[in-house]
Amino acid sequence: MLKLAFVAGVTPTKWLRAWNDRRPRDPLEAFRTEQAEQTAVLRDQRADLAIARLPLDDDAGLSVIRLYEEVAVAVAPKDHAIAAADELVLADIADEKRVADIGTMDGDMVMELVAAGVGIVVVPHSIARLYARKDVISRTVTDAPVTHIALVWPTAATTGDVEEFIGIVRGRTSNSSRGSSAEQAAEAKKAAEAKAKAAKAKKKAAQPAKKQRTAAEIRVAAARNSRGKKRRS
């Protein structure tokens, strides 16, 4: 059974649905993992692939396909001054006390601290949406670095099932692999025909060429034929 881990904020529903439609007899197990564990679950084989948030703490031996970017938002108590703005820049919140990053703390606990006025937190928009509550607000921070969501798996463990899921994430249809196989078969047929043609030409070239008679030899042969006819007559 193929196992997929994904970090908080990621919604893999469309890919899971596509897998189930294409491989109904091969269920895929999906589970959420903490960002701090996103590579560990691959290395200890709890998962075959992971939809992770970059950067990775250790990418040695891992293949990575970037999927999309996430904008950053600042999350603050509902009555905070940033509520009056439509969007922010980092300078607007430079003097604000920060709560520990959600990557190292439980998301619900972080939002509880923010709501209590302990500080604000800057997180990917998907995280703010996941842990949203009525007593906090969020505003986009336009100049904050974006984060990237990526599909990650151990390069040495690239099985057929892993390749199939990669194809689904990349948007390949169920006919794509068959089409690719047909093209490969056609190319292989062309290559075989070309090889056979070259071998035939090589064999022909290796055969002794028929000796071409010179003009003088032709005249001598004609004269002999003529003398022979006169004697018979």
What integer pLDDT is reported at residue 103 of this predicted model?
Answer: 62
SS3 27: coil
**What does the domain layout of the chain look like in residue ranges?**
2-69+148-172, 72-141, 191-232
Given the DSSP bridges, would you call strands 2-7 and 28-33 parallel, antiparallel or unpaired?
A: parallel
Q: From first to last of its 233 residues, what are the pLDDT tens digits of the chain? A: 999 999 999 999 999 999 999 999 999 999 999 999 999 999 999 999 999 999 999 899 999 999 999 999 999 999 999 999 999 999 999 999 999 766 667 889 999 999 999 999 999 999 999 999 999 999 999 999 999 999 999 999 999 999 999 999 999 876 654 444 444 444 445 555 665 676 676 666 666 555 555 666 666 666 666 666 556 55
CATH architecture of 72-141: 3-Layer(aba) Sandwich (3.40)
Residues composing the chain: 233
Residue 5 burial class via C-beta count within 10 angstroms: exposed 0-12, middle 13-18, buried 19 and up: buried
Structure tokens at 107: 């998301």
* Integer Cα distance of 34 and 2 in angstroms: 19
What integer pLDDT is reported at residue 189 of this predicted model?
Answer: 52
Is-contact 49 164, C-beta < 8 A?
Answer: no
What integer pLDDT is reported at residue 62 of this predicted model?
Answer: 97
Amino acid symbol at 163? E
Is-contact 67 151, C-beta < 8 A?
Answer: yes
| Assigned fold of 2-69+148-172 | D-Maltodextrin-Binding Protein; domain 2 (3.40.190)
